Amino acid sequence: MGKQINFFMLDQDLAEVDAKVKELGLTIIADRMPSEQIIVLDSLINDFKEMYLLFEEDLKNIKCKYSDNQKFYWIHPMHIQGMEFSKSLNLKDKKIITLGRIYYDKEFYDDQHNYIAKKELLTNNIDKLFKWFRNKFKQKIDGYPVGNYTYDYARENNYAFKTSTQILTLN
């Protein structure tokens, strides 16, 4: 069974999440890459929207697939000993902040296509991240956590928040 948090957060708030991810000993890698070479990132604040968080020792087990239609390599979320992280985007031309998401499933498919539990240390650290996230970002719009900087930025600059189905405003 999977768990997720959907949120609105610009880089200034994401810096706090980044520090917590590093404190938990998680490595950040890019998804949707130009080659099969795994790209290890220094921070959640980067040019990639889609990323994964995992332990460094699990990098060697990652297998990428190529998308002919979209011309990039990607990692299947059910075949990785980690969790998905998608950033919010600031669409300045439209004055919209998009929804970000943290998602993980406690199980994954191994190389023999067996559905097995992820490492207990990983799931414990991810549970800690989820608990910290919920306690840290209490401000919400329509039930979605919003970073403090992001909320103030949206209010001061008349921005809206976009989910997959609706546009939310602060007014």
Please, what's the largest Cα pairwise distance for the chain? 53
Exposed/middle/buried for 125, CB within 10 Å: 0-12, 13-18, 19+? Answer: buried
Length in residues, the chain? 171
This prediction has a pTM of: 0.90
Residues 64-120: pLDDT tens digits?
A: 777 788 777 877 777 778 899 999 999 999 999 999 999 988 887 777 777 888 889
Q: According to the model, what pLDDT value does residue 97 have?
A: 98
> Measured between alpha carbons, how far is residue 5 from residues 69, 76, 137 in Å?
29, 19, 11
